[in-house]
A and B are shown apart, each in its own frame.
Chain A
């Protein structure tokens, strides 16, 4: 790799300003962040459920638009962890995977979208982890693994 120029070292203004007096320790900053996340958990539940409803509507169309479904699923997978619905988040993540991996097969793509969305609804309904939920999520994981290998 040929170098055309090199910017002088240590040029980040960030490096200087973080050292200014009045800073806080990591423990203090992380404590404040955890407090914010706890407050967000309640605040983000409505957007999470709304996104899930909208995803259901998209999946109900005869031919769901994969890009739109992907973007919505991405939001659900991000919010799911914040609001404590990790299983729904994981299923949503696997839906994104499915859309990427099954892109070349439109029939399988659409079937997979419906399957994942139905599974996510079922996972959202129950607050506690049941044997059915474990089986449901394991099935989606196995499907993704098979798709990746294939």
Chain B
């Protein structure tokens, strides 16, 4: 049986240009007991917000007009803005093609969830993040969770490199949530 989860003091940022979808995510977070949820409708707005406040978790859409979600995450991971540069980040996408999943992962996000968001999928990711002990690493080409180690059981430990060339035809393939997790873990 899993331990009880207390999110009453968590401050969560939701970044998505779709107001109805944001409402759904906010309702789910409130159902999970999150005490403080802030919302931004663009990457620009989220940048400004992250310079002023610290967040315990950031949920961000991949596809947004203006600054894309992955561009915002890349900026955030490299920016010296409070503890947000090492905040746990879950990206959300309606189109989980292999190319987009890799883009989200390489931007420095911890996980990616395929929309529509299933409550259990979101809750599991929050729990995984709470138990994630991987450090955030900084290199010339990547800032984000250390992907050289698997984070979850049953097979934690050293993993193979993930700098794999993706053939163009494979880049269009839509991945399931399990397929996405396999690329992130």
Contact for B24 among A34, A44, A96, CB less than 8 A: A44
Q: List 10 A-B contacts (CB under 8 A).
A: A5-B137, A6-B137, A12-B87, A23-B7, A32-B31, A32-B32, A33-B31, A36-B27, A40-B27, A71-B17
Given known pairs A7-B135, A29-B123, the reply for A17 and B7 (CB within 8 Å) is: yes
Interface string of A6-42 (1 = CB under 8 A from B): 1111111111011111111110011011111101100
Q: Please report the C-alpha to C-alpha distance between residue A29 and residue B8 in the assembled complex, in whole angstroms.
A: 12
The chain B residue with its CB closest to the CB of A74 is B94
For B32, what are the chain A residues with a Cβ–Cβ distance below 8 Å?
Answer: 29, 32-33
Given known pairs A5-B138, A14-B129, A33-B119, the reply for A78 and B20 (CB within 8 Å) is: yes
CB pair B129–A12 under 8 Å, yes or no, is yes
Is A47 part of the contact surface with B, judged by Cβ < 8 Å? yes
For A96, what are the chain B residues with a Cβ–Cβ distance below 8 Å?
Answer: 94-95
Interface string of A44-63 (1 = CB under 8 A from B): 10011001000000000000
Q: Please report the C-alpha to C-alpha distance between residue A9 and residue B28 in the assembled complex, in whole angstroms.
A: 29
Is A3 part of the contact surface with B, judged by Cβ < 8 Å? yes
CB pair A36–B31 under 8 Å, yes or no, is yes
CB pair B31–A17 under 8 Å, yes or no, is no
For A51, what are the chain B residues with a Cβ–Cβ distance below 8 Å?
Answer: 20
Q: Please report the C-alpha to C-alpha distance between residue A114 and residue B130 in the assembled complex, in whole angstroms.
A: 46
Q: How far is the CB of A38 from chain B (nearest CB, A)?
A: 11
B-side residues, CB < 8 A to A, are 1-10, 17-18, 20-21, 23-24, 27-28, 30-33, 56-57, 63, 65, 83, 86-88, 94-95, 115-116, 119-120, 123, 126-127, 129-142, 146, 172
Q: Please report the C-alpha to C-alpha distance between residue A18 and residue B125 in the assembled complex, in whole angstroms.
A: 13
- How many residues of A are in contact with the other chain, CB < 8 A? 55
CB pair B57–A75 under 8 Å, yes or no, is no
The chain B residue with its CB closest to the CB of A29 is B32
Given known pairs A33-B123, A93-B94, the reply for A75 and B18 (CB within 8 Å) is: yes
CB pair B33–A29 under 8 Å, yes or no, is yes
For A78, what are the chain B residues with a Cβ–Cβ distance below 8 Å?
Answer: 18, 20-21, 24, 94, 115-116
Q: Please report the C-alpha to C-alpha distance between residue A127 and residue B142 in the assembled complex, in whole angstroms.
A: 48
Q: How far is the CB of A2 from chain B (nearest CB, A)?
A: 6
For B135, what are the chain A residues with a Cβ–Cβ distance below 8 Å?
Answer: 6-9, 11
Contact for B4 among A7, A24, A71, A97, CB less than 8 A: A24
For B63, what are the chain A residues with a Cβ–Cβ distance below 8 Å?
Answer: 74
Given known pairs A37-B27, A40-B23, A148-B172, the reply for A3 and B3 (CB within 8 Å) is: no
Q: Please report the C-alpha to C-alpha distance between residue A5 and residue B135 in the assembled complex, in whole angstroms.
A: 10
Q: How far is the CB of A32 from chain B (nearest CB, A)?
A: 4
